[in-house]
C-alpha cells in the first residue's frame, strides 16, 4: 500500500502557508497584528500535523478492499467485451473509491479510470469495456484502487492482484451468430453466387423419375428399361474432399489495412471458409510457413473448428521472407492425397522464379489456388486527385507498383497457375465463391 496526501490535506496546508506568508509580511511592514493570531495559526498547524499523522496511522491499519474480475476467457479480435469488477471493503463507512485496471498495451479500453461507491457490508459492481487489437495469450493481473483514509487527509493506493488468463482469437463472432445457422442466407450477404446443390455434381446421390429440365446424359437406361419409364440419376456435390490452406506468416503479411494486419484478414477468411467447407462435408487442414510452422491435419466434422481456432489464434507474422520451394517440398512429403490447396500470401512487386517453380510443382499433385492480398492504400492513392508534386510522385509510385504486380500475376497465369488478387476486406467472399465454383466443377 502507498499513501499520498489527499486534495483536502494539500489545500489545508496551502491555506495555512498563505496565512503564514500574509502574517509574516504584515509583521515585516510593522502593521499592527493581534497577539493571538500567530499563536492560533501555530496551534492550527500543529493540530493539522497531529491529525495527519493519526489519519496516516488509521490508513495503514484499515483493511484493504477486495475485488473480483469477471470476464470471458476467450475474446474476439477487434470486438468490445464488458469486464465486471465486484469490489467490497470490510469497514463500516460509506466510501468512494477510484480504480484503474492494468491492461496489456494491445488493448483499448473505455470507462477507465472510474469511481464506484462502496456501501458497508455490500459488494458493489462496476463495469468497463475492453477491445483487444492483437491475437494471442494475455494475462490481466493488477488492479490499482485508491481509497480515502478515515479522516480523508490521505489517499491509500492498493495494487490488488487477480490473475485472469485471456485468449484473443480471430474474429469468430460471426461463426456463432444466427446468420451462419442459415448458410445460404449468409452466403447471399457475402455476395457469393448460389450454386445448385444437387443434380449436376459428380457424386451419385439417388435415382428418381426423369424431369423435363434434366439432361439426357443423366438417364439411367437400365433402370428405365426395368421401370418402363424414364429414370434419371441425381448427383450431388462431392463430399469427403480435402481443403488445405498454405498460409504465409512472413513479413509480407505484416501490412495493415485499418486495425487488422493482412495475416488477421487471412485468418478470418480461412476460418469462415473452413466453417463452410466442414458444413459441406469436406476435411480442412492448415499449414503455415515463413515463420512459426504449424500443421493441422485435415479432418472433417464441425468439432474440427475448435481445433483450427486453438491451433491458429496466437500465431503472429514474423520478419522472415517466404521460401515457397522449401514449403512446397515439405508439404508434398506430408500430403499425398490430392486436395484443393489454397496458398494465401501478399506477393511483392516481383514474382521470382522460386514462386513459379513451387506453384508448378504443387499443381502437378493438387488443385491449387494462389491468393494475393492487395494493399487497399494502392486503390486509395490512384483514386485521389493530384494537386501538387508530392501527390504526383505518390500516385506514380503507386501505379508503377500496381502495374508490376499485375505483370507478375499475368506471368503466373501464363504458366497455368490460378491467381486471385483481392483486397483484404473482400477476401472472405472471394475465397468462398472460388471454393464453391471449384467444388461444383469437381476438378479437385
Residue 198: what pLDDT?
A: 43
Q: What is the pLDDT of residues 292-320, one digit of tens each?
A: 899 999 999 888 988 998 999 889 988 88
Q: What is the pLDDT of residues 163-174, one digit of tens each?
A: 999 999 887 665
Mean pLDDT on 118-134: 87
Burial of 109 (0-12, 13-18, 19+ CB in 10 A): middle
**Cβ proximity of 336 and 394 under 8 Å:** no
Q: What is the pLDDT of residues 412-441, one digit of tens each?
A: 777 788 888 888 888 888 888 888 888 776
Q: What is the DSSP letter of 184?
A: H
Residue 205: what pLDDT?
A: 63
Q: What is the pLDDT of residues 17-68, one digit of tens each?
A: 888 888 888 878 878 878 788 888 889 889 989 999 998 998 888 888 888 9
Residue 375: what pLDDT?
A: 77
Distance CA 373, CA 395 (A): 20
Contact residues for 22 (Cβ-Cβ < 8 A; gap 6+) = none
Contact residues for 390 (Cβ-Cβ < 8 A; gap 6+) = none
377 against 393, higher pLDDT: 393
Confidence of residue 178 (pLDDT cuts 50, 70, 90): very low
Q: Packing angle between helix 376-383 and helix 389-414, nearest 10 degrees?
A: 130
Superfamily of domain 240-441: von Willebrand factor, type A domain (3.40.50.410)
H helical segments located in 316-388: 324-334, 353-365, 376-383
Q: Which helix (H) or strand (E) holds 372?
A: strand 367-373
Asked if the domains at 1-169 and 240-441 fall in one CATH topology, the answer is no
21 against 206, higher pLDDT: 21
Hey, which bits of 133-241 come out as E strands? Answer: 136-148, 154-169, 198-209, 231-236
Q: For 195, list phi and psi in degrees, rounded to 5.
A: -120, 145
Q: Could you tell me the fold of the domain covering 1-169? A: Immunoglobulin-like (2.60.40)
**Which bin fits 166, alpha (ψ -120 to 50), beta or left (φ > 0)?**
beta
Average pLDDT, the chain: 82
Confidence of residue 287 (pLDDT cuts 50, 70, 90): very high
Give which of 344, 372, 412, 365 is closest to 242, Cα–Cα. Answer: 365
The DSSP-derived string for 290-303 is SSS--EEEEE-STT
Peptide bond into 113 cis (omega under 30): yes
- Per the DSSP assignment, residues forming a β-bridge with 99 are 114, 145
Give which of 430, 431, 369, 372 is closest to 404, Cα–Cα. Answer: 372
Q: Per mean pLDDT, which range of 239-248, 252-261, 352-361, 371-380 is the poorest?
A: 371-380
> What does each C-alpha distance from 234 to 109, 220, 225, 231, 237 come to in angstroms?
56, 10, 17, 10, 11
Distance CA 60, CA 158 (A): 11
Q: What is the pLDDT of residues 54-105, one digit of tens each?
A: 989 988 888 888 889 999 988 888 889 999 999 888 877 888 888 888 888 8
> What does each C-alpha distance from 110 to 96, 103, 259 come to in angstroms?
20, 12, 17
Cell of 422: 483481392
Confidence of residue 199 (pLDDT cuts 50, 70, 90): very low
Mean pLDDT on 226-248: 80
**Cβ proximity of 84 and 127 under 8 Å:** yes
Rg (CA), the chain: 34
**Where do the domains of the chain lie?**
1-169, 206-236, 240-441
Per-residue pLDDT at 285 exceeds 90 = yes
Amino acid at each position: 500500500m502507498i499513501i499520498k496526501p489527499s486534495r483536502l490535506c494539500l489545500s489545508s496546508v496551502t491555506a495555512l502557508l498563505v496565512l503564514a506568508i500574509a502574517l509574516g509580511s504584515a509583521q515585516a511592514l510593522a502593521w499592527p497584528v493581534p497577539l493571538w493570531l500567530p499563536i492560533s495559526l501555530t496551534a492550527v498547524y500543529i493540530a493539522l500535523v497531529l491529525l495527519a499523522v493519526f489519519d496516516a496511522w488509521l490508513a495503514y491499519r484499515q483493511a484493504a478492499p477486495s475485488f473480483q474480475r469477471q470476464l470471458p476467457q476467450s475474446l474476439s479480435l477487434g470486438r468490445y467485451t464488458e469486464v465486471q469488477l465486484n469490489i467490497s471493503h470490510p469497514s463500516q463507512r460509506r466510501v468512494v473509491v477510484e480504480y484503474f485496471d492494468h491492461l496489456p498495451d494491445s488493448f483499448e479500453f473505455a470507462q477507465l479510470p472510474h469511481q464506484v461507491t462502496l456501501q458497508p457490508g455490500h459488494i458493489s459492481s462496476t463495469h468497463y469495456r475492453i477491445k483487444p487489437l492483437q491475437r494471442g495469450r494475455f494475462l490481466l493481473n493488477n488492479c490499482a484502487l485508491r481509497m480515502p483514509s478515515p479522516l480523508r487527509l490521505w489517499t491509500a493506493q492498493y495494487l490488488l492482484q487477480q490473475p485472469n488468463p485471456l485468449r484473443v482469437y480471430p474474429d469468430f463472432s460471426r461463426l456463432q451468430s444466427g446468420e451462419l445457422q442459415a448458410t445460404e442466407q449468409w452466403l447471399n450477404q457475402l455476395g457469393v453466387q448460389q450454386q445448385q446443390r444437387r443434380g449436376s455434381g459428380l457424386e451419385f446421390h439417388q435415382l428418381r423419375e426423369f424431369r423435363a429440365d434434366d439432361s439426357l446424359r443423366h438417364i439411367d437406361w437400365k433402370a428405365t428399361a426395368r421401370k418402363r419409364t424414364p429414370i434419371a440419376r441425381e448427383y450431388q456435390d462431392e463430399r469427403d474432399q480435402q481443403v488445405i490452406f498454405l498460409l504465409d506468416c512472413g513479413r509480407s503479411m505484416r501490412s495493415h489495412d485499418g486495425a487488422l494486419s493482412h495475416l488477421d484478414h487471412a485468418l478470418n477468411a480461412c476460418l469462415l471458409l473452413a466453417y463452410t467447407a466442414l458444413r459441406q462435408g469436406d476435411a480442412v487442414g492448415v499449414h503455415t510457413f515463413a515463420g512459426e510452422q504449424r500443421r493441422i491435419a485435415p479432418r472433417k466434422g464441425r468439432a474440427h473448428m475448435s481445433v483450427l481456432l486453438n491451433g491458429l489464434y496466437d500465431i503472429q507474422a514474423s520478419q522472415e521472407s517466404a521460401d515457397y520451394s522449401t514449403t512446397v517440398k515439405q508439404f508434398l512429403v506430408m500430403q499425398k492425397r490430392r486436395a484443393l490447396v489454397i496458398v494465401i500470401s501478399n506477393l511483392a512487386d516481383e514474382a521470382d522464379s522460386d514462386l513459379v517453380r513451387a506453384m508448378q510443382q504443387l499443381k502437378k499433385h493438387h488443385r491449387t489456388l494462389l491468393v494475393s492480398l492487395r494493399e487497399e492504400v494502392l486503390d486509395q492513392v490512384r483514386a485521389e486527385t493530384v494537386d501538387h508534386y508530392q501527390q504526383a510522385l505518390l500516385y506514380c509510385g503507386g501505379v508503377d507498383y500496381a502495374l508490376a504486380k499485375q505483370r507478375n500475376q499475368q506471368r503466373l497465369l501464363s504458366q497455368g497457375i490460378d491467381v486471385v488478387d483481392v483486397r483484404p476486406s473482400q477476401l472472405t467472399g472471394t475465397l468462398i465463391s472460388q471454393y464453391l465454383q471449384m467444388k461444383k466443377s469437381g476438378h479437385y
